[in-house]
Amino acid sequence: MVARSALSGWLHRAADSDVWWSFKSSPMTVAAAVATFLIVAIAFLSPLLAPHTPFDPATLSLSDGLKPPVLISPDGDWAFPLGTDDQGRDVLSSIMYGTRLSLAVSLAAVAVAMVLGIALGLVSGYFGGTVDALIMRIADVQLTFPAILVALLIDGVVRGIISVKRHDEIAIFVVVGAIGLSFWVSYARTVRGSVMVEKNKEYVQAARVIGLSPLLIMVRHVLPNVTGPVLVIATLNLGLAIITEATLSFLGVGLPSTEPSLGTLIRLGNEVLQSGDWWITVFPGITLAALVLAVNLLGDWLRDALNPKLR
Amino acid sequence: MNFSFRHSLALTAIVCAGLSTATAVEAKTFKWANSGDVSSMDPYARQETFLLTFNSNIYEPLIRRDKDLKLEPALATKWGQTDPTTWFFDIRPGVKFHDGTPFTADDVVFSLNRANGPGSNMGSNFVSVKEIKKAGDLRVEVTTKYPDPLLADKWAAIGMMSKAWAEKNNALNSADMTKNEENFATRNAMGTGPFILKERKAGEKTILVNNPNWWDKPTHNLTEVIFTPVANPATRVAALKAGDIDMTYEVPPADTETLKKDANVKVLEGPETRVVFLGFDQERPELLESNVKGKNPFKDKKVREAIHRSIDVDAIKRTVMRGQSFPTTLMVAPGINGYMKDLDKRPALLKPEEAKKMLADAGYPNGFETGMDCPNDRYVNDEKICQAVVAMLAKIGVKVNLRAQTRNLYFAKILRKADLKPGETSFYMLGWSPAQTYDVHNVFEALIQTPNGATKKGQFNAGGYSNPAIDKLADAMEQETDKAKRDAMIKEATKLYVDDFAYIPLHQQAVVWAARKNIDLVQLADNSFPLRFVQVK
Amino acid sequence: MQSIAVLLAVGVVAFSLFRYVGDPINAMVGQDTSMEERAELRTKLGLNDPAPIQFLNFIGNAMRGKFGLSYRTSEPVGRLILERVPATLELSFCAAMFVLLVGVPMGVYTGLYPKHWSSRSLQAVSLIGISLPPFLIGILLILVFAVMLHWLPSFGRGQTVQIGWWTTNFLTWSGLKALILPAITLGVFQLTLIMRLVRSEMLEVMRTDYIKFARARGLTNRAINFGHALKNTLVPVITVAGLQLGSLIAFAVVTETVFAWPGVGQLFIQSVQFSDIPVMAAYLMLIGLFFVLVNLIVDLLYFVVDPRLRSQGGTARVAGH
Amino acid sequence: MAVISNNPPLLEVKNLRVEFPTRRGTLLAVDDVSFDIAPGEVLGVVGESGAGKSLTGNAIIGLLEPPGRVAGGEIRLEGRRIDNLPYEEMRKIRGARIGAIFQDPLTSLNPLYSVGRQLVETIQTHLPLSAAEARTRALDLLKEVGIPGAETRIDHYPHQFSGGMRQRVVIALALCAGPRLIVADEPTTALDVSIQAQIIALLKKLCREHGTAVMLVTHDMGVIAETADRVAVMYAGRIAEIGPVRDVVKHAKHPYTKGLMGSIPSLGVRTERLTQIDGAMPRLTEIPKGCAFNPRCTERGARCLVERPSLMPAGTSRASCWLHDRGGVGAPILKETVDA
């Protein structure tokens, strides 16, 4: 009962807040949010919703291969509403599973970047001096090596160090690690800036006096301050991560094609783009574009909404 | 008119720009593309079909292959054996190198020794050779350690270089990677062939021009050939459709149908001599990547049979290969000496229950799990074929963990090691063509005979299949000169490996070439593309 | 000093990482080469030496511009790279121009009129640039402009002119035409980023007191928007644009693959596929060098743009917001 | 009374209303404000933050930040109505006829341009002078505002000046095209106390010399007392009291003004704590019925709760307080009577 009223109170306040108001007043944002929600929900529920399980080779049959989408062609099969690819995989189910994988990879990558960036930003801002200079210099260098190069590098190293045997199993970590590693800088800079402002405030000094770890105190005070900007960066990075994963797949360091991500699906489809079997490329392409577009629109809106100065 | 290609590239570019406008009416420029570049202009740099045939436009062999891959005289007018261990080659008189110097027996001796020398990748064609010597201005004699009836076939891929030119430019040997020095022959060329190298930009473009002083009557009408590597297949197809190139080969199967519909493009298809097959680790007592411990299921012929007969090569042909393959049961393709047509009959496909029962009889009622290795950029749709195989085997309870990777990583993993240890694989894909000899013995020797460090047999038998009866037959056929007897041996050995389900031959991939409508060309079964058969209308 | 340190660090990365990639031997020889020959080559190449010794050799050679021979083409790596640098730089330059000439005005416009419907739609449209993978955009451009319309070439650099060791696209009609599609493909991603950056900087600057004061002084909109506001957005934009130039060169890997553009990016990806260690190492060193140069240029530009840095000796870096 | 001179006023503000549309309804930030400024006169405008004094200033120079807008009333400069001019027309008036000075000299100057350039740019925008002439004029102005070594300083950048020097530059910029009126919005708030007096003195001196009128917006009664000829006290978007500075300071008529004057430390005498008015100014969303000041008023009557007073004469000043209603409709009511 109490929890319920607390929740409703919170909901009420949320509904009343400026952020919610700015959300409601932008139809594009609402559309983006609905699209994002739908895509994410369908993707994560794909094991329940998808008509087929494209990642399970035992369910695939080459005799189902290259069926066109039902609505387009009389040759279509209602079992495969968006057609099948040359392995007999249902395109619709592949998209659902692939989106799930892409989202998982991108979310994980963004999480890696966020944790790394926030940690380094805290350390850099707190200790200052040489540590700060070093970390910020590394950040500069890091920015010269975009995700693609980093991924090729890491992939190369991992292939070399870990025996080739297990490569596919760790491919996903390579991609996550590479993308995560190349995104940390913006988080670090944001947090560092905030820490530098907070560092000299009285409560930090006070904390030191009463024997609390100032770093801990600062984490508690700084993190809420940077939630907004970090959230914005994370949203925008999410879109970037999805695209980067797709591009890596094109360059041959992506996820294995037996369990294709959305990007891998497009890469595979890219090869048959001119063959007339357009549905293999077009549907995953539309899904990817819609997802990234929606996420970015949300990020844009969030940035404007959370930055009261710009309102 | 004499082209010298050694002056600066800039100058040549300008001269030729001028030339091509001046003679615009007759100029027949032929532009073509392939997925990768020729790795070197040195004809001995790499023993691979693409490099050998590309460079054969500049460097001609003593004996060349005609449109049907039969040997015909080139720089040698006559050749043969004076006794079982002595070969002779009579040099064609009056042939001149591109720089106008005459081609002599000295050049032949120099070239053959260079091909067998340090830095060269052609050494395997000289295993039997004892000595190469000049026997008069127009004759070269070769003695071998043992009778080698296939010497002429092997050497049909070895182009002849100019000794004087190599000496002058310090290119006596092929590029030696251990020294940080570049080799002049890597990006320059001096041969006798129908085309002269005009411009070489590795990875960008290579331009050849017609050799007006060629000894043979040209069957082409090209004045200039521009070759560009275009890695992305979609771009290649688009470029052909847009008319930016006149020809490309190894067209992706998926694009074959649309290209056929394009009024400006024609598609040539034919089987390639290479057979793509799957192999098993039959050597280790326990598979590297499997849930079966203590034994190796692939040592059991019943298991191999169940798997062999569960792979539907016709389904693969229909969807994955889009019709661009020629299923086979043998390890050699038609057109190769020793292909046994009456043995090329695939055993009937098993229903999943039948295959499961067969596995159960072999002691695997619940199937088993195994790793599989596959290249993803070597054969046509290699990775997709493997995926299809994974799906087919999943239906009979064999769970296959597929690992597809780029070719050099792939080969590093699955091929036998330098000490002849078996490749690190349980189940793999490989393609093989006896491209030097066009004879089945090469297949037995490399793939089917028991690996043996001393005799160098079975070097590419990655899974270590071993059948003493075949070993014996293969050794015998190597030196047998009586065709009937030899054919009988081949037949017997072929039957043995087929019945053993030693490998799972899948198909010959189709050689799909596509060209603009105004191009006439001849498609060869070994996927080589000599420019001397090309006509631009 | 710092630059040298960065270069050295990149050198360590370049070498020590790629030392372990794949097996170069397989790339160097044909499939039929015997095992003994392979083993012999390995020893000769020093691939069996301890890693530190190999590294010292590497750095020593690198300082003299010697990166050895490519395992794949057996040509000197230095020259391979040098031959391809012009193609990549010209492509990146055109892409950067495209980004700046289109992206900055778009950013200024959307920043000045953030509420206007045209700004909002411009912003939404620009998102398409980052919603599709670059390789797909490239292929689609080829299909439309080369295959369907026959306006532009589908791949390659077209006719180039050689000036010294530099080959240029800029002097021939076909060369210029060949640049268009790849430059757009390469730029479209960064275009969106730059546009948004300029927009948000513009929004930020337009709120400042000195802009309000400039208005109060009755300056014309032109003077305010392009003189005062734009110049103040330049500092963070320069920072990011400099970094994006680095991204351009890296993303060129994709564009060059799609358009068969003979630049270093394509060379790099081929080298990764073939485990061509010397080329990969040299490429990384090149990127490192490039980083140092871009930083230098960025610092110089700060110096030109921002008087505050001039008096402080130009060392302080004004970070982007 | 209010307008001493016979000349027409330089600036007339009549019934000015400034609105802010928000999602919770439209906020009336400036409500029915009227006043005049005579040529050469210094009008001080005081009030707590949020009282609407800066908005009034911004409305006069035509730079209300959206979504704020002038919703009613009119503003006339030298008889010409300026509140409804198109942007471009108003731009020509800004700088040329009305100058402005803002609170923070540190941020009012563009950091990337030299002060000379900013001066020349402003001069050339409004006056038909060549670059050289404009520079000479700029140099003269800098000397006039007391920048030592103006010849070299003219090419320096804002960050090379101290805060006080920068505000001098800002004053030069505001004056450079010879405006008749300067709207100075808290010109000294951001400066050190020691410099504040100098800047105010400078402003006063220059305006006298140039015959420029000033609307001096501040929350500092001390500054007003020293500088202004007349003063307007604003509370919750309205003028509470307006009159000659001496009278308002010494004999405040509005209870709010009285409280405000009580909170000024006498010059030179520092008291530990200032007298304060209990409570705070209401938010614009919560302005009470009747007189906006009534919740805090110590002299509140019943009428104050229901009816809003407008400005009415109160001695030499005018105040919006029922205490001064001489119409007899509602004579002052004692406080006790409302406490029911």
> What does the pLDDT look like over B28-44, one tens digit per residue?
899 999 888 887 899 98
Q: What is the pLDDT of residue B370?
A: 92
CB D27 within 8 A of CB D285: yes
CB of B161 within 8 A of CB of B108?
no
- Packed helices C230-259 and C173-206: angle between N→C axes, nearest 10 degrees: 140
In the predicted model, is pLDDT for residue B330 greater than 80?
Answer: yes
Q: Could you tell me what percent of chain D has a pLDDT over 70?
A: 88
C304 touches chain A (CB under 8 A): no
Q: How far is A12 from chain B (nearest CA, A)?
A: 52
Q: What is the pLDDT tens value at each position of chain A, 311 positions in all?
A: 445 555 566 556 555 566 676 677 777 788 888 888 888 888 888 888 777 777 777 777 777 777 777 777 666 667 777 777 777 788 888 888 888 988 998 999 999 999 999 889 888 888 888 888 888 878 877 776 777 777 777 766 666 555 545 556 677 888 888 888 888 888 888 888 888 877 777 777 777 777 777 677 777 777 777 777 788 888 888 888 888 888 887 777 767 767 788 888 888 777 777 777 788 888 888 888 888 888 888 887 887 777 654 43
Q: What is the dihedral of CA D135, D138, D140, D142, to 10 degrees?
A: -140
Question: Does the structure show a pLDDT above 80 at D151?
Answer: yes
Whether pLDDT at D33 is above 80? yes
Residue D114's region, left for phi above 0, alpha for psi from -120 to 50, else beta, is beta
Query: Rounded to an integer, what distance in angstroms lies between the CA atom of residue A34 and that of residue A256?
Result: 31
pLDDT in tens, B381-405: 888 899 899 989 998 999 998 888 7
Q: What is the reported pLDDT for A17?
A: 63
pLDDT digits (tens, 9 = 90+) for A36-83: 888 888 888 888 877 777 777 777 777 777 777 777 766 666 777 777
Residues C232-246 have a mean pLDDT of 77
In this prediction, residue B306 carries a pLDDT of 94
Instruction: Please check whether residue C250 touches D, CB under 8 A.
Output: no
Query: Which residue did the predictor score with more confidence, B87 or D21?
Result: B87
CB contact at 8 A, C141 and C185:
yes
Is A63 in Cβ contact with B315 (below 8 Å)? yes
The full DSSP string for B153-173 is HHHTT-B---HHHHHHTT-SS
Task: Please measure the distance between the N-terminal and C-terminal CA atoms of chain D and give it in whole angstroms.
Answer: 40
Maximum CA extent, chain A: 79
Please check whether residue A153 touches C, CB under 8 A.
yes
pTM for the full predicted model:
0.78
Pairing of strands B265-280, B71-73: unpaired
Cα-Cα-Cα-Cα dihedral of D169, D173, D174, D176, to 10°?
Answer: 130
**Residue D320: phi, psi to the nearest 5?**
-100, 85
Reported confidence tier of residue D269, pLDDT bands at 50, 70, 90: very low
Q: Are B148 and B105 in contact (CB under 8 A)?
A: no
Question: What would the pLDDT profile of C145-164 be if each residue is shown by its tens digit?
Answer: 988 888 888 888 887 787 77
Of residues C20, C196, C250, nearest to A149 (C-beta): C250
In chain C the domains, ranked by start, together with CATH numbers, are: 2-63 (no CATH), 80-307 (1.10.3720.10)
DSSP code per residue over C8-65? HHHHHHHHHHHTTSS-HHHHHS-TT--HHHHHHHHHHTTTTS-HHHHHHHHHHHHHTT
Q: Which of C217, C227, C232 is nearest residue D94 as measured by Cβ atoms?
A: C217
CB atoms within 10 A of CB B342: 7
Lowest mean pLDDT among B210-214, B217-221, B231-235, B280-284: B231-235
Confidence of residue C30 (pLDDT cuts 50, 70, 90): low
Cβ-based contacts under 8 A for chains B and C: 170
Q: N- to C-terminal Cα distance for chain A?
A: 38
Q: Chain C within 8 Å of B199 (Cβ-Cβ)?
A: no
Answer whether residue B479 shows pLDDT above 50.
yes
Chain A residue with Cα closest to C252: A148
pLDDT tens digits for range D87-98 = 888 888 888 888
* Contact at CB, B395 and A58, closer than 8 angstroms: yes
**Contact yes or no for C291 and A141 at CB 8 A:** yes
For chain B, which chains pass the contact test of at least 3 CB pairs under 8 Å? A, C
Q: What secondary structure does DSSP assign to D278-294, as a single string? A: SS-PPPGGGPPSS-TTG
Q: What is the pLDDT of residues D225-249, one digit of tens each?
A: 888 888 888 888 888 888 888 888 8
Query: pLDDT band at residue B128, thresholds of 50, 70 and 90?
Result: confident
Tokens of residue D57, six digits = 């200033």
What pLDDT, on a 0 to 100 scale, did the predictor assign at position D258? Answer: 79
Outline where DSSP puts E strands in B230-264. 247-249
Quick check: B82 pLDDT over 50?
Answer: yes
Q: What's the confidence (pLDDT) of residue A112? A: 93
Pairing of strands B325-327, B503-516: antiparallel
Residue C319, pLDDT above cutoff 50? no
Q: Tell me what pLDDT residue D210 has.
A: 85
Residue in this structure with the two tokens 């058969």, named with its chain if needed = B533
pLDDT at B366 over 50: yes
Residue B8 — very low, low, confident or very high, per pLDDT cuts 50/70/90? very low
Q: How confident is the model at residue B105, as a pLDDT?
A: 92
Report d(CA B379, CA D198) in Å as an integer.
Answer: 87
Residue C55 and residue C16 in contact, taking contact as beta carbons nearer than 8 Å: yes
- Arithmetic mean of pLDDT over chain D: 79
Asked whether the predicted pLDDT for residue B497 surpasses 90, the reply is: yes
Listing DSSP states for B258-280 in one string gives: HHHH-TTEEEEEEEEEEEEEEEE
Residue B477 has pLDDT above 90, yes or no: no
Chain B residues with a Cβ under 8 Å from any Cβ in chain A = 233-234, 237-238, 241, 252, 254-255, 257-258, 288-289, 312, 315-316, 318-320, 322, 371, 376-377, 383-384, 387-388, 390-395, 400-406, 409, 412-413, 424
Whose CA is closest to B112, among B91, B93, B84?
Answer: B91
pLDDT band, very low/low/confident/very high, at C215 (cuts 50, 70, 90): confident
β pairing state of B247-249 and B29-34: parallel
For residue D154, the 8-state DSSP code is: T
- List the single residue in C with minimal CA-CA distance to B9: C162
**Per-residue pLDDT, B10:** 40
pLDDT in tens, C44-59: 666 666 767 777 776 7
User: What pLDDT, on the 0 to 100 scale, is given for residue A157?
Assistant: 63
- Find out whether B171 and B179 touch, Cβ atoms under 8 Å: no
- Residue B387: name the closest of A88, D187, D329, A83 by CA: A88
Q: Which of A111, A59, A113 minimizes the C-alpha distance to A84?
A: A59
Mutation target for C interface from D108, D126, D141, D180: give the one with most C CBs within 10 A.
Answer: D108
pLDDT tops 60 at residue B4:
no
Average pLDDT score over residue span D115-121: 87
What is the mean pLDDT of the segment spanning B48-69? 88
Chain B contacts in chain C segment 190-229 (CB below 8 A):
none
> Tokens 């008319």 — which residue?
B243
- Cα distances (angstroms) measured from residue C210 to each of B128, C215, D220, D253: 88, 8, 24, 39
C218/D173 touch (CB, cutoff 8 Å), yes or no? no
The full 3-state SS of B471-487, as one line of letters, equals HHHHHHHHHCCCHHHHH
Residue C308 near chain D (CB below 8 Å): yes
Whether D174 and chain C come into contact, CB under 8 Å, resolves to: yes
The shortest C-alpha distance from A271 to chain B (Å) reads 6
Please report all neighbours of C, defined by 3+ CB atom pairs within 8 A.
A, B, D
Chain D residue with Cα closest to C210: D108
Q: Where does the pLDDT of residue C293 fall: very low under 50, low under 70, confident under 90, or very high at 90 and above? A: confident
Which chains neighbour A (Cβ–Cβ under 8 Å, 3 or more pairs)?
Answer: B, C
pLDDT at residue number D340:
32
Q: Under CATH, to which class is D2-235 assigned? A: alpha beta
pLDDT at D7: 66
Residue A189: half-sphere exposure toward Cβ, Cα within 13 Å: 16
Q: Is the Cβ pair B235, C22 closer than 8 Å?
A: no
* Comma-separated ranges of CATH 3.40.50.300 domains in chain D: 2-235
| pLDDT for residue C17 is more than 60 | no
What gap in Å lies between CA B191 and CA B208, rounded to an integer?
Answer: 12
For chain B, the maximum distance between any two Cα atoms, rounded to a whole number of angstroms, is: 78
pLDDT at B281: 93
Q: What are the residues whose beta carbons fall under 8 Å from the beta carbon of D281, sequence distance 6 or more? A: D48, D50, D51, D235, D236
Residues D155 and D116 sit within 8 Å (Cβ to Cβ): yes
Count of CB pairs separated by less than 8 Å, A with C = 122
Most confident range, picked from B270-279, C224-233, C236-245, D251-260: B270-279
Of A159-168, B17-26, C265-274, where does the model show the most confidence? C265-274
Does the CB of B175 have a partner CB in chain C at under 8 Å? yes
Mutation to test the B interface, candidates C25, C40, C73, most B Cβ within 10 Å: C73
